[in-house]
């Protein structure tokens, strides 16, 4: 499927850790409205409070998403590994500093001589499905655990990140996961996307303008994807 050779495990771990850190910092700045709002002692304290929350949310959503792609692909006999993008990392941190996030630090690359449309669809679905499971787990904590204060903030943000990441990746635009799931099985795609879309509307208060912006971001990502990795 791809022409680049797989990287070593040590390098892969390093790259996904760097991507996780960069995305965590960028998301923390985004939550606070960008670097322009970080003036004064209280703003810096808020940043320090948000970074651990973002770290949990990003790691459980982004890292597990990518690892699940890798593990499922390996189950089908493919070679798979996460590969970061220098330009993508720069874009991620730069947009976060300005208060909006274009999170494209890298992706799981899959190398296989033969990969059926069904296998590709299942591997692609594994990422958003993982986000969905994380969302449900933290929804259960929120409903049955009755968290308060800082813990409630953490639970809410993990839910927000996980379901929004699932929604974005299920958009039917190459090379996002949704395009491959749709090519494999439209019924699975629309059923999955329907549930994720409803949950996204219910738990993120996303607007039509923001949905359109996500489509635009996905199109930009599609245009520059092969040159960024």
Q: Is residue 94 part of a domain?
A: yes
CB 104, CB 222: distance < 8 Å: no
Rounded Cα distance between 118 and 22, Å, is: 33
pLDDT at 211: 82
Write out the two tokens for 169: 């990746």
The three-state (H, E, C) secondary structure of the chain, written as one string: CCCCCCCCHHHHHHHHHHHHHHHHHHHHHHHCCCHHHCCCHHHHHHHHHHHHHHHHHHHHHHHHHHHHHHHHHHHCCCEEEEEECHHHHHHHHHHHHCCCCCCCCEEEEEECCCCCHHHHHHHHHHHHHHHHHHHHHHHHHHHHCCCCHHHHHHHHHHHHHHHHHHHHHCCCCCCCHHHHHHHHCHHHHHHHHHHHHHHHHHHHCCCHHHHHHHHHHHHHHHHHHHHHC
Q: What count of other Cβ atoms lies within 10 Å of the Cβ of residue 148?
A: 8
The count of domains in the chain is 1
Backbone angles phi, psi at 108, to 5 degrees: -80, 120
Beta bridge partners of 80: 110
**What sign results for the dihedral spanned by CA atoms 188, 190, 194, 197?**
positive
Q: Is residue 204 part of a domain?
A: yes
Q: What is the pLDDT of residues 179-225, one digit of tens each?
A: 999 999 999 999 999 999 999 999 988 878 878 877 887 777 777 66
Q: Is residue 214 part of a domain?
A: yes
Q: Is residue 103 part of a domain?
A: yes
Q: Report whether pLDDT(6) > 80.
A: no
Rounded Cα distance between 77 and 97, Å, is: 40
Rounded Cα distance between 120 and 176, Å, is: 12
pLDDT at 121: 96
Rounded Cα distance between 157 and 208, Å, is: 21
Rounded Cα distance between 19 and 87, Å, is: 12
Q: Is residue 114 part of a domain?
A: yes
pLDDT at 181: 97
Q: Is residue 2 part of a domain?
A: no
- Give percent of the chain with pLDDT exceeding 70: 92
Domain membership of residue 183 as a residue range: 9-228
Q: Is residue 46 part of a domain?
A: yes
Rounded Cα distance between 183 and 229, Å, is: 23
Q: Is residue 116 part of a domain?
A: yes
Q: What is the pLDDT of residues 22-81, one digit of tens each?
A: 999 998 888 888 877 777 677 778 788 889 999 999 999 999 999 999 999 999 999 999
Give the active site residues: 66
């Amino acid at each position: 499927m791809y022409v680049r050779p797989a990287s070593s495990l040590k390098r892969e771990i390093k790259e996904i850790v760097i991507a996780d850190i960069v995305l965590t910092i960028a998301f923390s700045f985004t939550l606070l409205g960008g670097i322009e709002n970080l003036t004064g002692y209280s703003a810096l304290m808020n940043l320090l409070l948000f970074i651990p929350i973002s770290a949990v949310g990003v790691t459980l959503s982004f890292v597990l998403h990518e690892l699940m792609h890798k593990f499922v692909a390996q189950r089908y006999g493919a070679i798979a590994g996460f590969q970061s993008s220098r330009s993508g990392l720069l874009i991620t941190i730069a947009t976060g500093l300005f208060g909006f996030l274009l999170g494209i630090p890298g992706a799981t690359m899959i190398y296989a001589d033969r990969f059926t449309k069904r296998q590709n669809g299942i591997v692609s679905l594994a990422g958003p499905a993982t986000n969905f499971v994380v969302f449900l787990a933290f929804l259960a904590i929120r409903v049955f655990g009755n968290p308060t204060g800082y813990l409630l903030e953490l639970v809410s943000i993990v839910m927000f990140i996980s379901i929004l990441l699932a929604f974005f990746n299920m958009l039917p635009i190459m090379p996002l996961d949704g395009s491959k799931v749709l090519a494999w099985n439209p019924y699975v795609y629309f059923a999955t996307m329907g549930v994720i879309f409803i949950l996204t509307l219910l738990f993120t208060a996303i607007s039509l303008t923001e949905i359109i912006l996500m489509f635009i971001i996905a199109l930009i990502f599609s245009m520059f994807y092969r040159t960024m990795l």
